[in-house]
């Protein structure tokens, strides 16, 4: 009997996911869209990663997580999410994407000073570093997901999808060096390009296919209020300003 026994533990977070994997409810999507409308209304012309994390957290009623929890950004019950966003001209037509995972330094973590000396060993070390970050999050949240938002430059169109996140089986990836000098990893069971790692800067990028069941939504952006009109609607005047000398 090799499998681990199921144990009762009061320290494990409990609770159901706000929706099934990659199937956000209409209410969640509407809340996300309204948050983006609000951000545009207060002057945002584009969304950053922290804006996406805030919108998602508010939409599901989750909590913001600190950097000490690996790659997890938002938590709710036993679930945690790593939030990623990229910008494209036409999100609904995007079929494959590249997500920046972060820096993974085999030199710092494993003392591999010459990454080209053994390409396979370096690639394995890179994935082990990523796995360690995933495992940190899984210790606190047994279920992990990546939530990806593809956004248009004008803040009107979006594609949202999720993928389950767990440690990668390093033996299933074959590493090589491409013509640009970057390390690339192919997932051997499917022969698909999975990762790119840059020796200079140690940046790791994940290649993903956008699933057909991804959620596509658009929002209407109202005209922003000018300064005078906004102050009038707030009822603000000079009495709102207190001067101390």
Return averaged pLDDT per consecutive 10 residues of the chain, 245 residues in all.
Answer: 41 73 97 97 93 97 84 95 97 97 94 96 97 94 97 98 97 97 97 96 97 97 89 94 94
The pLDDT score that the predictor gives to residue 15 is 67
**Among 167, 166, 149, residue whose Cα is nearest residue 158:** 149
Integer Cα distance of 184 and 167 in angstroms = 18
The pLDDT score that the predictor gives to residue 225 is 86
Integer Cα distance of 136 and 184 in angstroms = 25
The pLDDT score that the predictor gives to residue 66 is 77
Integer Cα distance of 56 and 79 in angstroms = 13
The pLDDT score that the predictor gives to residue 222 is 87
- What distance separates the 2 farthest-apart alpha carbons in the chain? 78
Beta bridge partners of 160: 149, 215
Alpha carbon of 151 to those of 33, 54, 221: distances in Å? 11, 15, 14
The pLDDT score that the predictor gives to residue 4 is 42
Q: Which long-range contacts (CB under 8 A, 24 or more apart) does 179-185 make?
A: 183/115, 183/119, 183/122, 183/123, 183/126, 185/123, 185/127
For residues 194 and 204, the answer to whether their CB atoms sit within 8 Å is no
For residues 74 and 57, the answer to whether their CB atoms sit within 8 Å is yes
pTM to 2 decimal places = 0.88
Token pair listed for 204: 């790791």
**How is the chain split into domains, by residue range?**
26-231
The pLDDT score that the predictor gives to residue 137 is 93
For residues 60 and 28, the answer to whether their CB atoms sit within 8 Å is yes
Beta bridge partners of 218: 157
């Amino acid at each position: 009997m090799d499998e681990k026994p199921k144990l009762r533990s009061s320290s494990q977070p409990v609770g159901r996911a706000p929706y099934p994997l990659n199937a956000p409810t209409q209410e969640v999507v509407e809340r996300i869209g309204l948050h983006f409308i609000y951000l545009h209304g207060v002057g945002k012309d584009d969304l950053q990663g922290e804006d996406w994390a805030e919108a998602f957290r508010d939409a599901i009623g989750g909590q913001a997580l600190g950097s000490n929890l690996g790659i997890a950004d938002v938590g709710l019950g036993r679930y945690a999410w790593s939030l990623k966003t990229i910008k494209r001209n036409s999100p609904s037509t995007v079929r494959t994407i590249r997500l920046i995972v972060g820096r993974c330094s085999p030199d710092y973590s494993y003392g591999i000073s010459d990454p080209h000396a053994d390409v396979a060993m370096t690639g394995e070390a890179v994935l082990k570093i990523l796995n360690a970050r995933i495992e940190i999050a899984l210790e606190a949240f047994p279920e992990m997901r990546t939530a990806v938002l593809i956004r248009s430059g004008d803040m009107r169109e979006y594609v949202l999808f999720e993928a389950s996140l767990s440690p990668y089986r390093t033996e299933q990836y074959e590493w090589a060096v491409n013509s640009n000098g970057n390390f690339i990893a192919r997932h051997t069971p499917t022969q698909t390009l999975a990762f790119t790692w840059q020796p200079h800067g140690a940046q790791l990028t994940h290649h993903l296919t956008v699933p057909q069941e991804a959620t596509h939504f658009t929002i209407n952006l109202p005209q922003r209020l000018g300064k005078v009109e906004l102050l009038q609607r707030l009822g603000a005047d000079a009495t709102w300003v207190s001067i101390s000398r």
